[in-house]
Amino acid sequence: MQNQHYIGIIGAGFGGLTAALRLQKEGLSDFIIFERADDLGGTWRDNIYPGCACDVPSHLYSFKDEPNPNWTNVFAGQAEIWQYMKQVIQNHRLQPHIQYNTNITKAVYRQETGTWLLTDQNGKEYVVKMVISATGPLNRPNIPPIKGLANFKGNWFHSSQWNNQCNWNGKKVAVIGTGASAIQIVPQLAPSALQLTVFQRSAAWIMPRRNRRYTQIEKTLFHYLPFLQTLNRERIYWVAELLGNNFTGNKLLNRLATMQALYKLKKEVKDPETRKKLTPNYTIGCKRILLSDDYLPAFNHPNVQLVTDSIDHIAENGVVTKNGQLYEADFIIFGTGFHAADTADFEVSITGLNGRNLIEEWRNRGVEAYKGTTISGFPNFALILGPNTGLGHNSVLHMMDSQMNYIMDYLHLLQKQTANAGLNVKPDAQELYNQKLQNMFAGTVWASGCKSWYLDDSGKNTTLYPRLTVNYRKATLHINAADYQVV
C-alpha cells in the first residue's frame, strides 16, 4: 500500500525530531513525520515575538548527540534554536521523512490488523503500525474570553501569532498577562512605545537569568575539545537537578530562592508601590518561575504602567477594568499562555479499542497516561511529552530522551508479537501508576495552594512530573512486559 509505514510521528517540533533521530539511530527507517505547517520547528517556528528565547541554557536545550559549539548566548534566541533544528534535520537527512502541510485530524485503531488508520485534513489516509504523537503542549493559544474584544478598533493578537507589520513607535500598547512570553516582550516594547500598560492577574516570581554571549575562545574550545562542551552540559544539568529539590520539598532551598527573588525585586524596581504589586503572594515554584534580567527594570520607565485591577471588558479604544478605568490602547497583546492542562481538547480525534474515544475519556475521567507515554485502550500508540512529563527546573529534552528509551523497549516488545498484534497497557497498571504519581505531589510546592496553568479545572496537576528527571529516567529505562497485554 502506497501510504503505509511502520511508524507515524505526528509533529515536527523537538518531540518529533527526538523520536525520528532515535528511530534512525536504532536502524528503524520506515517512519513518516506528519507536520501540519509548511516547515518544521513547532514552538520555535511559531513564536517570533521580539525577545523570544529559551529559559533553559542552550547547551542543555539541545540534542545530546548533536552538540552545537557555536551557540551565541548562554540562552539562545528563537531564530538560532530554529536554525539549529533545521541543521540537525539536514545533518541526518531526515527531510525526506517529513510530510509538510499535513494535519492529521483523525486516528482510528483497527484491531483486526493491529494498525492505525490516520486521516489528514484533505481526507487522505495513511496506515501505520504505531503512532508517536509529538504535537506538544504549547501549540494552542489561550485567549481569555474577555467581553468586547470584537469591538476593539486597533490590532490584537496572541504572542504566538505575532504580527510583524505592527509599528510600536509612539503607540499605546496593552500587554495582558505576565507569563514567560510577556516578560520577554515587555522589555522590548518599553523603549519605543508611547505608553505600555501591563495587566497582571497575579505576580510572578522572577529569578536572575544571567544571560551573556559566549566568547570566541569558549566556542573554539568547545569545537576542538568536545569533552569540554560535554562537561559544561553535565554541569548545567546537575546544577538544575540540585535546584530542582527546591520544588520537591527542600524548605531551605525554597527559602533561599525566595530571598534571592525578593532581593532582586527590591534592587531592580524603584517605586515601592509598583514593587508591592510585583511581589507574589504564593510559594515560589508553585507557578512557573520566570528568568529575566530586564523585565523588572522595565517598570522604571516613565511610560510603563502596571495594572492589577481585574479587566471587565475591551472597549473600542482600549481596556476597561472593573473599577471603570479606561486604559487606551492602539494594540493589545495577549501574553496569556497556552491550553496545556486541558489536553483533552486537542484537535486530533483518536479512537482506540472498541470505539473508545481518547478525548471523551480524558474529559470524563481526567487526563492521564502510563508514565506519560502509553494509554490503556489505545494500543501501539505513544505520546512525547504526554500528561505529567513537564518540568519546572530542567530541560524537557531530557524527558523526551527518557521517553524514547521506553518507546524503543515498547517497540522491541511489539515486534516480538504476531503481525496483527497490538500492545496495550493494562488498566490496573495505568491506574496504580497515576495514583502513586498524584500522591507524590504532597509536600511539593505545586501542592501549596496556588492556581496555575499546571492544573486542570478540577485542581489536578496533569502537567508536571513531581520529581527530578533522574527519577523519571530510572522509571522509563526499561519496559515491564507484565504491565502490558497483547490484544
Please tell me the number of Cα atoms within 13 Å of 188 on its side-chain side: 15
Q: What is the mean pLDDT of each run of 10 residues along the chain (487 residues)?
A: 90 98 98 98 95 97 98 98 98 98 98 98 98 88 93 95 92 97 97 98 97 98 98 98 92 96 98 98 96 98 98 98 98 89 72 96 93 99 97 96 99 97 98 98 94 89 96 98 98
Contact predicate 14/56, CB 8 Å: no
Contact predicate 178/204, CB 8 Å: yes
Please tell me the number of Cα atoms within 13 Å of 453 on its side-chain side: 23
Cα–Cα distance, 198 to 111 (Å, whole number): 53
Cα–Cα distance, 462 to 460 (Å, whole number): 6
pLDDT reported for residue 345: 57
Domain ranges in the chain? Answer: 4-140+340-486, 149-205+248-334
Domain 4-140+340-486 has CATH 3.50.50.60: yes
> In Å, how far are 52, 109, 463 from 128, measured between CA atoms?
36, 10, 28
Find the farthest-apart pair of alpha carbons in the chain and give their distance in angstroms, rounded: 70
Are 4-140+340-486 and 149-205+248-334 equal in CATH topology?
yes
Query: Minimal CA–CA distance to 423: which of 340, 479, 362, 485?
Result: 485
- Contacts for 307 with CB less than 8 Å, ≥ 6 apart: 197, 198, 199, 200, 321, 327
Q: Which three cell numbers stand for residue 128?
A: 501505520
Cα–Cα distance, 360 to 141 (Å, whole number): 21
- The structure's pTM equals 0.95
pLDDT reported for residue 17: 98
Q: Which three cell numbers stand for residue 403?
A: 521517553
- Helix, strand, coil percentages (3-state) for the chain, rounded to 5, are 35, 20, 45
pLDDT reported for residue 484: 99
pLDDT reported for residue 347: 78
pLDDT reported for residue 453: 87
> In Å, how far are 96, 266, 312, 423, 480 from 117, measured between CA atoms?
21, 58, 46, 16, 27
Cα–Cα distance, 216 to 462 (Å, whole number): 43
CATH no. for 149-205+248-334: 3.50.50.60
The DSSP-derived string for 410-475 is HHHHHHTS-TT--EEE-HHHHHHHHHHHHHTTTTSGGGSS---TTB-TTS-B-SB-SS-HHHHHHH
pLDDT reported for residue 339: 77
pLDDT reported for residue 287: 94
Q: How far apart are the first and last CA of the chain?
A: 24
pLDDT reported for residue 139: 74
pLDDT reported for residue 319: 98
